[in-house]
Amino acid sequence: MLILEKIKAALVQGGTGFGNVFNCDYFITDRALWPDAWRTFKKWMDEEAPDYFKYPRPGVLSIVHGLDHPDMLIEVRMWATIPD
């Protein structure tokens, strides 16, 4: 999933990783897209960061009228801490 590759690169560049993410917000354009998006997200994260879903992580799902580009179907925003 391209969006997660980009998030991973940004986290690494910032000196952190998925294990330090404490909030994740999802923006989709149609509620019907969520089951497929979630399955894809979970499959990718289970391989990339197997411990990610072991902790309750706050997140918000928002359905929006549109995203930055008309072809976009989902936007993911993650907040992470940088370890000492």
Asked whether residue 79 carries a pLDDT value surpassing 90, the answer given is yes
Using H for helix, E for strand and C for coil, what is the string for the chain?
CHHHHHHHHHHHHCCCCHHHEEEEEEEECCHHHHHHHHHHHHHHHHHHCCCHHHCCCCEEEEECCCCCCCCCCEEEEEEECCCC
Asked whether residue 1 carries a pLDDT value surpassing 80, the answer given is no
Q: Would you state the pLDDT for residue 55?
A: 80
- Mean pLDDT score, 53-80: 88
Q: Tell me: the pLDDT tens digits for 7-50?
A: 999 999 999 999 899 999 999 999 999 999 889 888 988 998 88
pTM over 0.85: no
Domains of the chain: 2-80 (3.30.1330.40)
Asked whether residue 57 carries a pLDDT value surpassing 80, the answer given is no
